[in-house]
Amino acid sequence: MEHEKQQVIITIGREYGSGGHLIADMLGEKYGLPVYDSTIIEVIAKEKNLNLEKLKEYDEKPRNRLFTRSIDGYSNSPEDVIAYMEFDFLREKAKSGESFIVVGRCGSSILKGYRGVISIFVTGDMPEKIQRVATEFHVSNEDAEMMIQKNNKSRKLYHNFYCKEKWGDSRYYELTINTSKIGFDRAAKVIDCYIKERMGDDWAEHIAR
C-alpha cells in the first residue's frame, strides 16, 4: 500500500541535556510530522479519563522493584502500566501506517519490526550538557551535573528493563550523533541528510512538498 511505502518512523533516544528533544522538534517541523513524547500521556489520560498529573509521575520511569509484585502474570507497578499503555499507543500508530517521530519511550526497540523505522541516538559531552541544563533551569553547574546523572540513570534503567538492546549502545542505533561537536542545527541537518539517503529520492521528494 502507498502509505506503507512512504511511512517513516524516526525514533530518538537521547542523553539528558544533549538536545535530542529539540532536534526531534526541528525534524517534526521540517517534515510536518507529529512528535510523540510526554504528549502520549495526555492523550491516554483524555481517552481513558485518568488523572493526568498522576500519570506524569510514572512516565518514562523505571519500576521500583521494592514495591512491585506480579499476580497471575500481571504487574501491580504503575510504571509498568504506564509504559505498556505508551507502547500500545505507539504500536497502534505504527500499525495504522502513520509517519511520526517518537522521543525516548523505547521506540527504537518496540517499533523495530515496522518498515521505515530509523533509530537515532543523540549524545553530548558533559561540559556542554552542564552548560545547557544550568542555563535552561537556572541552577548551578554542580546541580546541573547531578540532574544529568540522575536523569540519564533513570532513562537507562527504564530502557534496559523493557528492551533487550542496551540504552545508548551504538550497535543498536542506525546513527549516533554528538551535538557538542557540531551544535543542534547542524546535527539536525546531518540527521535530515541521513534520513533522505536512507528513505530514497521518492520519499525525499514526497516529504518536501
- Name every residue whose Cβ is closer than 8 Å to that of residue 94 and which is 6 or more positions away in sequence: 7, 9, 111, 114, 117
pLDDT on residue 73: 44
The grid coordinates listed for 189 are: 541537518
Q: What is the separation, in whole angstroms, between the first and last Cα of the chain?
A: 20
Helices 179-199 and 201-208, packing angle to 10 deg: 110
The model's pTM: 0.88
CA 201, CA 114: separation in Å to the nearest integer?
A: 20
The H or E element spanning position 11 is: strand 9-14
> With the C-alpha atoms ordered 138, 142, 145, 146, is the resulting torsion angle positive or negative?
negative
For residue 24, give the nearest of 171, 204, 192, 147 by alpha carbon: 192
The DSSP secondary-structure symbol of 114 reads S
CA 88, CA 93: separation in Å to the nearest integer?
A: 9
| CA distances in angstroms from 159 to 137, 155, 187, listed in the order given | 25, 6, 24
* Tally of residues, the chain: 209
For the chain, 209 residues long, the average pLDDT of each consecutive 10-residue run is 68 97 96 94 89 87 60 62 92 94 96 92 98 97 98 95 94 96 97 91 63
Please report the DSSP string for 170-204 in residue order: GGG-SEEEEHHHHHHHHHHHHHHHHHHHHH-HHHH
pLDDT on residue 208: 54
- Gyration radius (Cα) of the chain, Å: 18
pLDDT on residue 74: 44
For residue 79, give the nearest of 117, 107, 41, 114 by alpha carbon: 41
pLDDT on residue 171: 93
pLDDT on residue 76: 63
For residue 121, give the nearest of 176, 69, 164 by alpha carbon: 176
